[in-house]
Amino acid sequence: MNTILIIEDDSQTRENLQIILEMEGFQTATAANGRIGLDMARQHPPDLVLCDVSMPELDGYGVLKGLRAHESTNAIPFIFLTARGEKREVRDGMNLGADDYLTKPLDAEDLLAAIQTRLARQRAFQASGATPDFSSAKPLEALSLTPREAEVLLWVAQGKANADVATILGMSEKTVKIHLGHVFEKLCVETRTAAALRAIEVLAGGAA
């Protein structure tokens, strides 16, 4: 069972996240501020961290810097949670080593998809010893996908929701869903997580 550490100063948000995750079979640990969360992660490293950006004691950027500075925690998948979505903040978080950046209020489906994708990516990394290369969708065409289907899958494999993929690729959300449906058929899978895992295996250097 995977353990998710939730670092969030708003008690209602923290409780809602805990309920969603535990209903999906995850074990959870919670912290009300960044300082407590960082100490908890160092003492008992979780499988993934969900962390708010703006918090007392120590903000989310400080937590991420602290985790990445220690060998026992530097590879833990890390997802920022914030009510703000400015491009500069997203870029700053990613430059520090965050794996994803989700804007509140959170959609449960998008949250779970992002978590499952990060955990699948971590498993693929541990199994192969190789890091997935998300710089190009070209390798995914080996899965009998069209260039556009491969681009959609590339972003889904990075935990992006359909709305985000639509914005990134300049297409409608409906078109993204159509492409994703074709991807599912060609890969013989039924879920985003399964499709993302297949993509990660390929992008990490596995056989198509």
Share of the chain above pLDDT 70, in %: 89
Distance CA 119, CA 117 (A): 5
Domain locations in the chain as residue ranges: 3-106, 138-203
Mean pLDDT (whole number) for 134-159: 92
Section 132-138 average pLDDT? 85
Between 45 and 74, the more confident residue is: 45
- The label of the residue with tokens 């991807």 reads 183
User: Average pLDDT, stretch 62-71?
Assistant: 91
The CATH number of the domain covering residues in 3-106: 3.40.50.2300
Quick check: do 3-106 and 138-203 share a fold? no
The predicted pLDDT at position 128 comes to: 61
What's the pTM?
0.68
Residues 6+ apart with CB under 8 A from 84: 53, 54, 103
pLDDT of residue 177: 94
Averaged pLDDT for residues 62-85: 87
Collapse the DSSP code of 70 into the 3-class scheme (helix H, G, I; strand E, B; otherwise coil) and give the result: coil
Residue 164 has pLDDT above 70, yes or no: yes
pLDDT, greater one: 197 or 171: 171
Beta bridge partners of 27: 3
Q: What is the pLDDT of residue 153?
A: 95
pLDDT higher than threshold 90 for residue 187: yes
CB count in 10 Å sphere of residue 69: 9
Q: Cα(202)–Cα(129) distance, rounded to whole angstroms?
A: 13
The 10s digit of each residue's pLDDT in 23-49 is 999 999 999 999 999 999 999 999 999
**pLDDT tens column, 85-120:** 555 666 677 667 777 888 888 888 888 888 988 887
Task: Give me the CATH code for the 138-203 domain, please.
Answer: 1.10.10.10
Q: Over the chain, what is the mean pLDDT?
A: 87
